Structure 1
Amino acid sequence: MSEASEFDLNLLPVVLAIAEERSVSRAAERLGWSQPKVSIALNKLRAALDDPLFIRSSHGMAPTPRALALMAPTREILDRIRNEVLAGAAFDPATTTRRFTFALSDIGEMTFLPKLLAYLQTHAPSATVRSVTLPPGDIAAGLEAGEIDLAVGYFPDLKARNFFQQRLFTHSFISLLNAKHPIRGKRISMEDFLRIGHAVISAEGRSQEVFEQLLAKHRIERRIVLSTPHFMSIPFIIASTDLLVTVPYAVGESFAKIANIRLIEPPLEIPQFDLKQHWHRKFHKDGANVWIRSVLVKLFAG
């Protein structure tokens, strides 16, 4: 008998087909093979296992004890492939207990998680969500390893050919002031912008870079009074001081609802930027990944 490492496992379905059909010709029809191909495969099996495997009888091809011993493990292997591998693309959100992991900044959490969690509670009630904030290099590795399902937001570094991306919506920036601040109007003047004290957020998220790079391009230097890596303290700081801060528009709208602050347009036109969802090409056809991507498109694309 040949070494086990040299045995061709692709021949095992032939044993099962002949044993159940009791005929080489019917086994060939079932497998979608030609009859000569099945006969050749059977001869290879007989040589490899040093056993005739099937003997002609009045009831067709009768399996030998060796063939009978192969049937149960072969059937189990084929069933597992059909049920766990080939049927893996079928994903049922109503019954899944899957944990979806998203790479999000804190402003990404504010923008995406409330609507997403509300949707999952209705359509995938047993699913859970994990949010992570990581450096760009770690996000790429996490997506490739399957530790992160989607990176959602502004991630300009995820441009390699192994990553897919899909635009969800376009974002802009807005400035915030104390609602009682003496500066009025819909847009702050450049003179006031340069005179007033600023709060600046230097968070892990990349979206703030768009605004900072624009200021650097125009050589605009603000009077920075506060620099912080945190967004969540900003609405309360702005509501109780005369400082101004510039943030992504959706964040500004959220802050205006929870603190005594108002929106005001910055003194210069700021390029808009796209918020996207990113995933690794290995999971492009994964059922769960396909579904959660479709949910984000449904909730946020515009």
Structure 2
Amino acid sequence: MNELDLNLLYTLVALDECRSVSGAAVKLGKSQPAVSAALARLRDFFNDPLFVRSGNNMQPTPRALSLVESARFVLGRVGSDIVAAPTFDPATSHQTISLALSDVGEVVFLPSLLKQLRRLAPRAAVRAVSLPANDVAAGLEAGSIDLAMGYFPDLKKHNFFQQTLFSDTFASLLRSDHPVTASKLTLKQYLQLEHAVVRAESRTEEVIERYLARRKLRRQVVLTTPHFSSAPIIVAQSDLIVTVPEPLARYFSRVSAQLRVVGLPFDSPRIDLKQFWHRKFHHDERNRWLRSVVADLFQRSPKSR
């Protein structure tokens, strides 16, 4: 098999169809000497003349006729299974779409994305997971996770692509009947209030903490929790304040009349919300389609790398 060039099979089929060296040369876009040389190699390999001259044409031998049928089958499989670009049809796909979402990502992305995916890929289930950064990286590489969406500062290795969808700021939440009634806090008020702090796996809190540390501003932290879902419930029943990415603050104030958003007394740091994928799947048709759906829905300030 090491001596059989796959291109020789194309010559074999062309000779059978054209029954002449010159005709096969035109069909293959090659010179007549090149086709004659290929025929000589075929004859040597199969130890058979394969095509013999009869009048103005070349007629196949019985060995050639049996080979041509197999060659057409092999070349057809090569064309459809190897050479042809893979296609993906979201409308018929049953493959589950797996997304790793940060705390912000789940609130900001999932409702709109699920609605769009149900429309475009109605047969595909959607699976959202929340995992430690190392598990997200391993899942993206293994293909068990299609995309990571949100704030994932650990996915910086060269094996990952990332695309910024948009950036947002931070805001604070107070209970609706809090003694502080201002819509925007003064710095004195912000520092005097007692704070709840969310230190989740996504590490979004690090953005605001680094910002305050650079300005040597220290909050009075009386509660630390790993869950964004519990912090607003506690704030709604106390005099505590919690500072979270603004999309989360807006969401919690919409779903609970007991909470209201208050502005920060300083220019808020910005947090980039991105989608991430492993370089193994950069050219995968299904992954490319999914990334385009996400970008079309959410990208405001494109910045990809």
TM-score, normalized by length of structure 1?
A: 0.86
Equivalence for 2:247: 250
Structure 2: stretches of 5+ with no match in the other structure = 301-305
Distance 1:59 1:227 in 2: 91
Equivalence for 2:11: 14
Give the C-alpha shift of residue 161 in structure 1: 4.2
Equivalence for 2:108: 111
Distance 1:139 1:55 in 2: 64
1:48 maps to 2:45: yes
Distance 2:64 2:9 in 1: 10
**Partner amino acid for 2:275?**
Q
Residues 110 and 251 in structure 1, CA contact (< 8 A), matched pair in contact too: yes
1:182 maps to 2:179: yes
Match of 1:269 among 256, 267, 270: 267
1:133 maps to 2:130: yes
Residues 184 and 263 in structure 2, CA contact (< 8 A), matched pair in contact too: yes
Equivalence for 2:155: 158
**SS state of the match for residue 274, structure 1?**
strand
Distance 2:127 2:33 in 1: 55
Give the percent of matched residue pairs that are identical in Structure 1 and Structure 2: 51
Give the C-alpha shift of residue 202 in structure 1: 1.4
**Partner amino acid for 1:44?**
R
TM-align CA RMSD: 2.6
Residues 12 and 74 in structure 1, CA contact (< 8 A), matched pair in contact too: yes
Matches within 5 A, 1:139-288: 139-259=136-256, 260-288=258-286
The superposition leaves residues 183-221 of structure 1 with CA deviations (integer Å, 9 ceiling, x where unpaired) of 111222333323322221111214322112112323333
Matches within 5 A, 1:52-91: 52-57=49-54, 60-91=57-88
**Partner amino acid for 1:129?**
V
Distance 1:76 1:172 in 2: 60
Alignment CA distance shift 1:171-1:182 (3 Å)? same
Give the C-alpha shift of residue 256 in structure 1: 1.0
Alignment CA distance shift 1:189-1:286 (3 Å)? same
TM-score, normalized by length of structure 2?
A: 0.85
Residues 141 and 280 in structure 2, CA contact (< 8 A), matched pair in contact too: yes
Say which is worse superposed, 247-256 or 81-90, in terms of deviation. 81-90
Equivalence for 2:298: 300
Alignment CA distance shift 1:86-1:135 (3 Å)? farther
Give the C-alpha shift of residue 35 in structure 1: 2.8
Give the C-alpha shift of residue 237 in structure 1: 1.9
Equivalence for 1:121: 118
**Partner amino acid for 1:25?**
S
Structure 1: stretches of 5+ with no match in the other structure = none
